[in-house]
Amino acid sequence: MASLDELLTALFGTLGPAGSLVILLVIFAVDAALFPALPEVWIVVTYTYRPEPIGTIAWAGLLLAMAVAGDILGTSLLYAAVHRWVVQRGRMPHWLERSMKKWTSFLLVRDERVILMNRAVPVIPMVGAFIATLGWNYRRSMAYVAAGGLAKYAVLLYIVFAIGLAYDVETARWITLALVAIVVGLSFVASWIRRRRIEASTAPRP
- For the chain, how many residues are written? 206
Taking alpha carbons only, the member of 177, 155, 175 closest to residue 165 is: 175
Pair 154, 64: CB distance under 8 Å = yes
Note the pLDDT of residue 106: 76
Taking alpha carbons only, the member of 95, 80, 84, 103 closest to residue 29 is: 80
Q: Percentages helix, strand, coil for the chain, rounded to the nearest 5?
A: 80, 0, 20
Note the pLDDT of residue 146: 97
User: Mean pLDDT per 10-residue run, the chain (206 residues)?
Assistant: 68 89 96 90 90 91 97 97 92 88 79 88 88 95 96 91 73 74 72 66 54
Note the pLDDT of residue 26: 96
Note the pLDDT of residue 1: 45
**Whole-prediction pTM:** 0.84
Half-sphere exposure (CA, 13 Å, Cβ side) for 140?
9
- Domains in the chain: boundaries: 2-202
11: helix, coil or strand? helix
Residue 77 burial (CB count, 10 A): 15
Note the pLDDT of residue 204: 52
